[in-house]
Every structure is written in structure tokens, then in C-alpha cells.
A = this chain, B = another copy of it.
Amino acid sequence: MYIHAVSHYLPTEVVSNEHFTKLNGLSSDWIIERTGIEERRKAAPDENTNTMTVEVVRRLQEKTDLSTVDLIVGATYTPYDTIVSLAHEAQHELGIADIPVVSVSTACSSLLNAIEVVEGYFALNKASRALVIVSEHNTAYNNDEDTVSGHLWGDGAAAMLITKERQADGDFTILGLLTGGAAHTPKGTTGVMMKPNEGGVSMPHGRDVFINACQYMPKASLQILERCGLTLEDVDYVLPHQANLRISRNVMNTLGLPEEKLISNIQKLGNTGCAGCGIALSEQWDIFQRGQRIVITVFGGGYSFGAMVIEKS
């Protein structure tokens, strides 16, 4: 299984930390110290998870041919439309008839959940060229005045073409992928929530989310490396879910890897949910050298987690 091409989209409006200083009295230094976030993007009034989907699909079409896509898997927890999901919107945009189309909603881990769904379709020989889209419109469900988590969130989207067979030099080979859920833990279902009819995003147990993220991302990373017959010495970059720069640094510390190997976009984008790692992979696509390996590891609300090892060909 290969990642052939990736695209991303970011809304143009930048929201600075000063916005939250004015609103809630949180200083920019305090926000940066606690989260690493300097600014984040906010979708325009006429933008949403579906319009951002169309945008990343068009941008991906500029990089590769999508006319023979035979599976679409979308992911979001901030849906514009839960019936006409972003995967349906992508199918409508591409105009490809009768292929399987499914959207997943598994919080911030959904990029890897979506790719694992693709892996299943490939194993069944029900598809061989999959379009995966991750799109988050956090600001549609966020309360800026929430002093606990209002300043964390940003909007953005990414799309990738995943193929069963290698398409070209430069494709990333997916060496291994696992996902899991830790909702069995005491605060797994209350740490961070997003209730459309009850005020949107809230994070009453941020510390518990923090602790579990710092445990599960290194653990999943080591598990998937072991399954691939690799060690930490074989890892060139780690791309963790972009929730908090302190969590990312904690993950690197636990793994004993230097910060130069950390890929991070939270400083400029905030927490873009399940889109964060997809956006980062697209932003950094050109820096990766043949043979380099990246561990992408995620953790999110509902306490879903996952890890994937990819290698540049």
C-alpha cells in the first residue's frame, strides 16, 4: 500500500493569540508556553468541511490523475453535513459512479482509521485506488470564549491518493499501520467531547487527555515499529497528532528522539483535528529523501489512537 500524492488546504483568515487575549485575558506567551500555538486558521463564512474537501480534491487533481479512483474514505468530527458527508461531496466533485464511499468519525485519530479502512478494501480486492480526505472545521463548533480549550482549534483539510500498487518513484510505502481505542479508561468518554446540540467542543479533562496522549502515541509507535521489524534508529521523522506542542515534545522525549526529528505545524495552525497530520505530510512532502522513514502517530478524543510507518521510495 502506497501514498502516491497529498494535497492540503488552509483557510486564509489567520487568528492570532491576541484575539484570545482580548476575549479571555489569556496572554500570547501563556498560550505559546502551554500549547506552542502562535496562530491558527479560520474558515470563511461560506466554507465548511465539504467546501474544503472540494478544494483539496482539486489540488490533488493537479498532482495526480483521480479519474480511476475506486474508493473514497472521508473523515471529520466537525461535519457540515452528516448525511451528505465529505466523502459523498468528493464523489460528486469527481463524478465517478457507484464506487464505495464512506466517511469515518473517530475524532483526531481518524486519518489512520480511514487508511486502515482502505487497507481492508484493498485486502478484499474491492478497491485499489483510494482517495482519503480529512477535513476539519473546528471553528464551527468551538466556543472562542472557553478559556480551557477555545484557543486550541484551527481549520484545514488534506487529501491523499493511496494505491495498492506502487505508482512512481517518490511514493511512500506504508510499511505498517495499527489503530486502537482506549475508551475503556475512566475518562475516555469525557476527556474531550463534541456535542453538536449541546454547545460543541468541550474539554473538561484536558490533563487526562494529555497524559493518555503522551502514553499511547509512543506505545503505538513502538508497537508498529516492532511489527515492521524496525527500531527507533530506523526512524527519520515522527509526525504526531498536532494537539499540543508539549505533547509532541513529550512523545519525542519518551521515545528518546531529538526534536530535529519532530514534524510540527501546530505553531501556525493550532489543532486541526484529524486533518493535522495530513496537512503536515503535504506541507513537508518535498523535504523527504529516498529511504527515509516517518512514524505518524495519533491520539484523540474518545481516546482513539494509532501509528503508521511509511518509507519514501
| CA of A101 to CA of B106, assembled, Å | 8
> Which of B82, B116, B123, B300 sits near A196, CB closer than 8 Å?
B82
Interface size on A, residues (CB 8 A): 63
Smallest Cβ-Cβ distance to A187: which chain B residue: B92
A88-B119 in contact (CB<8A): no
Is A302 part of the contact surface with B, judged by Cβ < 8 Å?
yes
Shortest A123–chain B CB gap in Å is 4
Chain B residues, CB < 8 A from A103 = 104-106
Q: Which residues of chain A in 62-80 are interfacial with respect to chain B, using CB atoms and an 8 Å cutoff?
A: 72, 76-80
Given A82-B105, A83-B300, residue A88 in contact with residue B124 (CB < 8 A): no
The reply to whether B196 and A92 contact each other, CB–CB distance below 8 Å, is: no
Give the contact stretch, choosing among A35-43, A155-163, A177-185, A253-261: A177-185
Q: Which of A16-57 contact B (CB under 8 A)?
A: none
Give 27 pairs: A residue, B residue, CB < 8 Å, sorted on A. Answer: A79-B82, A81-B193, A81-B194, A81-B195, A82-B196, A83-B193, A83-B302, A84-B189, A84-B192, A84-B302, A85-B105, A85-B302, A88-B107, A88-B181, A91-B188, A98-B182, A98-B184, A100-B181, A101-B179, A102-B304, A105-B105, A116-B126, A117-B120, A119-B124, A120-B120, A120-B124, A123-B124
